[in-house]
Amino acid sequence: MIMHIDMDAFFAAVEQLDHPELAGKVLVVGGASGRGVVAAASYAARRYGIHSAMPMFMAKQRCPHLTIVPPRKARYGEVSRAVMAILHRYSPVVEQVSIDEAYLDAAGCGRLFGPPKTMARLIKSEIRNQVSLTCSIGVAPLKFLAKVASDLNKPDGLTVIPPERVTGLIGSLPVEKVPGVGRQALGQLNRLGIVHLGDVCRYAPALLVERLGKFGHRLVDLAHGRDDTHVIAHAPAKSISSERTLPADTQHRDRLRQHLLAQSQDVGRQLRRQGYLARTITLKLKQSDFKQITRSTTLEHPSQSSETIFRTGVGLLDRQPLGTPIRLIGIGASTLIADTTPQQVSLFETADPTAKGWETVDRVVDRIADRFGQSAVHRGSLQPPDDMAMD
């Protein structure tokens, strides 16, 4: 049996934990500007139809007395690590898939913790006692059904799908509840008359692949109760990125560079904390007409230096014509390798001679931020001049 553990309204719940006066309020976490979006919504906010990724102006329309708090990534990461530490006490095979959810393989754990339902209750109790938050857990013989089950009785839910119920549940499962079915795929399925996952069995696999690409193959397997995906412990990160929707569309390159500097520091800090070097740096831009542009380059020497990431991103930005104002900018690092991986030393000195100095600065800044908070120290160039205060 596989478990899917999903923290309930995680960001909002952490804010209410740290600030008891917010308990019960219609609360969202996100940017308060007109261009901001909802990162997380409390259950009180969800009763107004407010949900994550909703534009903040729309959330305010639905609830004029909405309480908005800015996100605190470092604090959420701290609580997440505490939750994951609890899960690892119950099984050596834990796959964290986001900051607030993970899969756990319960195979072989019965002698220590009892049957899966008893084990799930123990996990929920320990998270509540140690972290003072609630989670919802789904237990099923198939990985995708464990995720479906964790969402059935939120918040603070526990749902077990025994093997004998799998076929019946698949037949009646609304197709929009299947992990991986997004808006476009749902439209294609509905046009075929597919409303429940079991309806997929009525169609030739070739037709579904024609309409949905590779995902058509997976949908056929799921409809027949086949899911070969396993819980993978310590799955390596594929990429680390940071992006922001701007308060106002702009073609002002200095403003865009300033956002890149803050984002590069964030990405570099995450790389160093997780122990990765990046080979590829990617600049992401979204224009006011919502056209998305990405530009990537491969570093000669893999790096986790914030300064290297920033300089590389600025180089990509400087080569990009800005004929249309920009509404979103981001920087990403990918093709990651462990920072313990031996590196080939060049016979000739080609690396930036200042890189080592910046790496030392990064480590010092990281230690200060860990002790006193990320706002305790920042680059002087991140202090906005008067004409950029709106950013």
Span 302-313, pLDDT tens digits:
999 999 999 999
Residues 245 and 195 in one domain: no
* 295's tokens: 């530009």
Task: Give the dihedral sign, CA 369/374/375/380.
Answer: positive
Q: Which token pair is 4?
A: 């899917």
Q: Is residue 263 part of a domain?
A: yes
The 10s digit of each residue's pLDDT in 71-125 is: 998 899 899 999 999 999 999 999 988 899 999 999 889 889 999 999 999 999 9
Q: Is 127 among the domain residues?
A: no
What is the CATH number for 252? 3.30.1490.100
Q: Examine the pLDDT at 389 and tell me if it is beyond 90.
A: no
Res 345: pLDDT: 46
pLDDT of 390 strictly over 50: no
Say which residues have a Cβ less than 8 Å from residue 315's Cβ, sequence separation at least 6.
297
Section 249-276 average pLDDT: 93
CATH code: domain of residue 46: 3.40.1170.60
**Residue set of the binding site for Mg(2+):** 6, 100
3-state SS class at 327: strand
Confidence of residue 42 (pLDDT cuts 50, 70, 90): very high
- What positions carry a catalytic annotation? 101
Tokens of residue 17, six digits: 């934990």
Indicate whether 338 and 366 sit together in one domain: yes
Annotated binding site: 6, 100
Residue pLDDT, tens place only, 339-359: 776 555 444 444 455 555 666
In this structure, is residue 315 part of a structural domain? Answer: yes
Domain that holds residue 195: 166-223
How many Å apart are CA 261 and CA 378, to the nearest integer? 10
Give the H/E segment covering residue 239. strand 239-250
Structural domain tally of the chain?
Answer: 3
Same domain for 261 and 206, yes or no, is no
